[in-house]
Structure 1
């Protein structure tokens, strides 16, 4: 029995119990990271209600206002600061969807969202973290070159990192999409590589053409070909393309925690591990700010837009919908001097 079911008040109306298969099917509709975050958010809400003697389900508007207010005032152990507004928004979604999954009326969240809006406004006025949306830095071509310069491309791990950097950029992948590629999936042709990539937000495969680059050092086709050849020499002809590699060049070394094996047995990198690679390369190149896997996706969108590529071509290469309204937020700001609208006035 789950903690939610243990805490459920006896006064609640009877509801249909979902089978384990149905619960698994429902959970599969969300990304792993979302499922983990929702589970933690829900458990925290249930604990807080229990400590106060409150009935968590169904949640009233006043209860959610009280809970959100509590979170805006309570420092988190890891950061020493209260939760960010974006975390509070996710928490409300977790609680709302929990009601839907338990066949309960959807809670009224308007009051809680008003609290979040005021909290975010005050953080901005006080110039505190959370008041301004944190965006990753865009990995534009000059940054890519500097990051590539830090890599020893004679080693297997260096070949992997270079291919991750260049393929993630040229195909505008999310980290989860990048690590989902298998060795046998890229199809080489005269012009470069064709990849069928499962786009997690669109929930469908899209075709991305990866052409040769003008310079061998920044060519995604050569980097990908080099990695595939090296993996085959190491005995890997199938399975994930991007895998764990230790400093001795061993592929997928076993990982153990408390005596129990952990991680994908095939060695496939997680999305977080792929982002850590980008962060490590950015640090080695001397860059400041926040660098993650999304830096490649944002860098591609920005560079393509500045280069005059049609919006629909940018969208299709990166797996955005043709009429995507969110694509613009991936564009990095232009040069503050060269693109300044005051110039020439």
Structure 2
């Protein structure tokens, strides 16, 4: 089969051999080329953070196999169940166990990694491993052990007011205000403000439009319409305009170029250091919330969860919330945020006494 696919993996070579026997060599060559194209397309459309997760999870699997003396390329039911048990018990580099959510992520990514390497991993085996995570998580909870950070606290309107009032009248303060108010109103992930260019934000008579082009899914690539707020103090459109005008006034007209970053990094001396990256957005959100003394410190995901939670409190339906935040319709994540609001506002015990 070298004449058909000189550098393919053994499992791909075997498949090409079957095609050649069934359809002839010419057809097998065309089908092989189509497989290579499919591989290239899959690689091109896979987000970088997903690729990073696959790489990190495979390293965890390698450590597990080395420590437990398991073959690396084996995805049996027993191996996967032993893997999740090991992760929850001692899987981290320091010998402590992973949080259940992290163990689930590593399991899913490892399964992908095994299949990419030609290992047959049955759905029943992965299902049993996931069930093992669930069961062991219950045991951890009963033992009083909670792992992980839990869900990010949702940003709320009261917190927005505290943050706005705590922002100093400097370029950094104006940037912080615009970052928080804008991010809240389109339910941003930390990666989304970092990926915005100035030209991705356009003013409109009724507000502004944020073109999110760096989303992880076809739903999160969107044009979010953000209207003027009734309360000028927390208006994202006014905050964005003031920040951009000050940036140009202090650092020159070149920062008005549509190809420049929408949100810039600013050091302690007021110098612009370039565009923000996801980690700097996350750190900024935490720092800003600490400065404002919000009751519970916000994280990089607080703005995203905040829109869904506050939108639900105001009676917004799932369709409008999912469209604004770039969730898939009936997304479990989004519905979870909405449920957090409903548990208090639509509570069976509310108003009984």
Give the TM-score normalised by the residue count of structure 1. 0.81
Q: 1:314 aligns with which of 307, 314, 321?
A: 321
Could you tell me which residue of structure 2 aligns to residue 191 of structure 1?
Answer: 206
Q: 1:38-70: per-residue Cα shift (whole Å, max 9, x none)?
A: 212202212332344421113222122222222
The answer to whether the 8 Å contact 1:136/1:289 transfers is no
Q: 2:181 aligns with which of 155, 166, 169?
A: 166
Matched, 1:272 2:300: no
SS in 2 for 1:184: helix
Q: 1:247 aligns with which of 243, 246, 268?
A: 268
Runs of at least 4 residues of structure 1 off by over 6 A? Answer: 17-24, 335-338
Could you tell me which residue of structure 1 aligns to residue 155 of structure 2?
Answer: 139
Residue 241 of structure 1, CA deviation = 0.8
Could you tell me which residue of structure 2 aligns to residue 54 of structure 1?
Answer: 70
SS in 2 for 1:159: helix
Take 2:275 and 2:247, find their aligned partners in 1: how far apart are those partners?
A: 13
Could you tell me which residue of structure 1 aligns to residue 27 of structure 2?
Answer: none
Matched, 1:71 2:78: no
**Could you say if the C-alpha distance between residues 203 and 322 of structure 1 is closer, same or farther in structure 2, counting changes exceeding 3 Å?**
closer
Take 2:175 and 2:39, find their aligned partners in 1: how far apart are those partners?
A: 37
The answer to whether the 8 Å contact 1:140/1:303 transfers is yes
Take 2:111 and 2:343, find their aligned partners in 1: how far apart are those partners?
A: 42
Within-5 A mapping of 1:17-32: 25-32=41-48
Matched, 1:87 2:108: no
Report the aligned-residue RMSD.
Answer: 3.0
**Could you say if the C-alpha distance between residues 43 and 311 of structure 1 is closer, same or farther in structure 2, counting changes exceeding 3 Å?**
closer
Take 2:291 and 2:226, find their aligned partners in 1: how far apart are those partners?
A: 27
The answer to whether the 8 Å contact 2:194/2:275 transfers is yes
Residue 15 of structure 1, CA deviation = 4.2
> Unpaired segments of 5 or more residues in structure 1?
1-11, 253-266
The answer to whether the 8 Å contact 1:197/1:207 transfers is yes
Larger Rg: 2
> Unpaired segments of 5 or more residues in structure 2?
1-8, 14-31
The answer to whether the 8 Å contact 1:135/1:290 transfers is no
Take 1:309 and 1:14, find their aligned partners in 2: how far apart are those partners?
A: 51
The answer to whether the 8 Å contact 2:312/2:341 transfers is no
**Could you say if the C-alpha distance between residues 21 and 230 of structure 1 is closer, same or farther in structure 2, counting changes exceeding 3 Å?**
farther
Residue 204 of structure 1, CA deviation = 5.8
Take 1:244 and 1:313, find their aligned partners in 2: how far apart are those partners?
A: 32
Q: 1:143-173: per-residue Cα shift (whole Å, max 9, x none)?
A: 1111222211x22211111111000111122
The total of aligned residue pairs comes to: 317
